Structure 1
């Protein structure tokens, strides 16, 4: 039974992508921020194999411990399923002895899923079919933002520049012409992944094949980007309340300060290897340009709810789009909530706004 007067929120996390553990950490922060007087939490974990389980709502079980990320396993809780039926009762718990039983219908889903099978339009399509409102972008925007090739193409059509790159689909190799055009160093990355998984900085063409192979362990389509020297700047974007124009946060600059070649997974999450400036120390015109680009990119991809838009800034103050994340890292120390907290929207209020925006938007075409 649901609690009268409370909003029932299914927080979904884990999943089949390499970002499984970070998703769980993000979910723990979201659950901790939900006021129990206002919200009833349904914690839904997804194993790496794709099994859905009803888990504990204790955020302490979803924290990084001794450099180890949390893991959702079949033993974590009772098996469950979400039927793609808008006339049904929402989430079903599967009891091997008593059969399926319906939980009370959830009011909104917060899919704190990063990467494939979560941030790429797949679960968004399921929720659309089920008619359950959810936090974040719709099917198209999620898929387009997840694929860095199409992010760049759509934003280029909007007049937002990105640096030089080449796309290698399955079986393709980098041509000599592209090697000359891109130069060294290059960054080799999966076209559809996040959290810096599978990324290699290549400074010698002899190392390219191994870097491409590492990226293809995650995605057969690989992006090779020419390095853009300079600074890394991030901007958070929120959908306007009650459907208004998107709003940009204060900007953040990320600086890697220890023994890491770039802003990789260990630097981000395990080694405390980065420093951040919020707001970023930039000329006013550059700040305004980046915030404008971020909102335009959000609109160009038809995003909803939230996004973190990342940029490179050259020493000549030229701005280039890096990527868009439609469900960025959401731990209490992640950049997206930190940028909004610096602007006066503290973490619990940010989570509350995202849930209310999702309920207002509902499902279907807009």
Structure 2
């Protein structure tokens, strides 16, 4: 198992990768962002940061936004418009000139050409794409669906493959994999769609019994969501149905977790040529203005964590080893942010991994790697180069 053990650990020289493709032209990177999930705006923020950082002397870049209704659109290459302005979140539609035009990527593995179509107009070829950088968060993008399409197309892409993306999105099966690999997880309960629809009283009783065993409060959350959307902290039976309804607004399958008393610790994992390595960890301190580290705290009020986390050398080494083990357990590729609780007892418990974590320069994942010696533009470059080296298909 390979991991960095401190912020002073050496970072290898930059990988060689594929600096050019056929004909000596620069590799073309399609940055795909937006999407149909409730994390649409967070994906736009991430795309703006990636577009701002990517080396234009080394790569040709094609920004492709996916609208909230699933249309692939050619967007402006304008990172400044992909930001929060006056507490308003950005949207892909604001970056497109046509309400009807669309982008099509061939699923023929022998043809990587992207075509722009518009009603009443001749389709326009936009050239080939050599690698996709999918900065989508949540369902319909981070969950293996887009990755499956890219596998069919034979187009390399940044990040986890189909299985790892799907497992990394579904918190139930993620926890099952963790348990099978000996990783410590906290108590949880799953309520599937049919269970709540068929007999909500019985499903409600299971939640109450779970709270009776592990104590109130509990957290009710979408099983396949992210960015802390749809999560409610519930202190008792009052408000439980409302919390379930809010979670099911994002995902018909819900997860109930007990409160773990301790410190929130995060650790980044990045795939180098010799295997995955862990960054210095970070700590999310208690957010006094919020009940927990929710969406508002993360993205609107910009609550920030401590990097590096104030841990002992032994604790740092332990959480880094656990982060790499989680990366390997789910068969991840490219990158992962692993989130832990350091319990009052001194034990680390893994909460979840994110196969495409928030990726703005102030997000925890890039900040942890910056503290580990990898600046943001180099981080973007490493991920693109790793994707260019990696074949599609079984591997």
Structure 1 length normalisation: TM-score? 0.96
Q: Does 1:25 align with 2:55?
A: no
Deviations 1:37-57 (A, max 9, x none): 111110000000000001111
What's 1:246 paired with?
Answer: 276
What's 1:312 paired with?
Answer: 341
Q: 8 Å contact 1:63–1:70 — kept in the other structure? A: yes
- Other structure's SS at 1:24 match: helix
1:102 Cα offset (Å)? 2.2
What's 2:296 paired with?
Answer: 266
What's 1:214 paired with?
Answer: 246
- Other structure's SS at 1:345 match: coil
5+ residue gaps, structure 1? none
1:89 Cα offset (Å)? 3.9
Deviations 1:29-83 (A, max 9, x none): 0000011111111000000000000111110111111111111128714421122
What's 2:14 paired with?
Answer: none
Looking at structure 2, the residues matched to 249 and 358 of structure 1 have their Cα atoms a distance apart, in angstroms, of 20
1:98 Cα offset (Å)? 2.9
What's 2:265 paired with?
Answer: 233
Q: Does 1:189 align with 2:218?
A: no
Q: Does 1:141 align with 2:173?
A: no
Distance 1:180 1:109, change over 3 A: same
Distance 1:332 1:203, change over 3 A: same
Q: Does 1:73 align with 2:93?
A: yes
Looking at structure 1, the residues matched to 301 and 288 of structure 2 have their Cα atoms a distance apart, in angstroms, of 9
Q: Does 1:359 align with 2:388?
A: yes
What's 2:15 paired with?
Answer: none
1:177 Cα offset (Å)? 3.2
What's 1:102 paired with?
Answer: 125
What's 1:9 paired with?
Answer: 29
Q: 8 Å contact 1:16–1:46 — kept in the other structure? A: yes
- Other structure's SS at 1:12 match: strand
Q: 8 Å contact 2:287–2:297 — kept in the other structure? A: no
Q: 8 Å contact 2:32–2:135 — kept in the other structure? A: yes
Deviations 1:237-285 (A, max 9, x none): 01222xx32100010001144310100000000013x232111111222
Q: Does 1:53 align with 2:91?
A: no
Looking at structure 2, the residues matched to 237 and 211 of structure 1 have their Cα atoms a distance apart, in angstroms, of 33
- Other structure's SS at 2:275 match: coil
Equivalenced residue count is: 362
Q: Does 1:130 align with 2:153?
A: yes
1:103 Cα offset (Å)? 1.8
Looking at structure 2, the residues matched to 33 and 266 of structure 1 have their Cα atoms a distance apart, in angstroms, of 26
Q: 8 Å contact 2:211–2:217 — kept in the other structure? A: no
Q: 8 Å contact 2:112–2:155 — kept in the other structure? A: no
Structure 2 length normalisation: TM-score? 0.89
1:178 Cα offset (Å)? 2.1
4+ aligned runs moved over 6 Å, structure 1: none
1:99 Cα offset (Å)? 2.7
Looking at structure 2, the residues matched to 353 and 53 of structure 1 have their Cα atoms a distance apart, in angstroms, of 27
From 306, 324, 333, the equivalent of 2:362 is 333
- Other structure's SS at 1:217 match: helix
Q: Which has the higher contact order (CA 8 A, sep 6+)?
A: 2
Q: 8 Å contact 1:253–1:278 — kept in the other structure? A: yes
Looking at structure 2, the residues matched to 213 and 147 of structure 1 have their Cα atoms a distance apart, in angstroms, of 19
Distance 1:41 1:3, change over 3 A: farther
- Other structure's SS at 1:225 match: strand
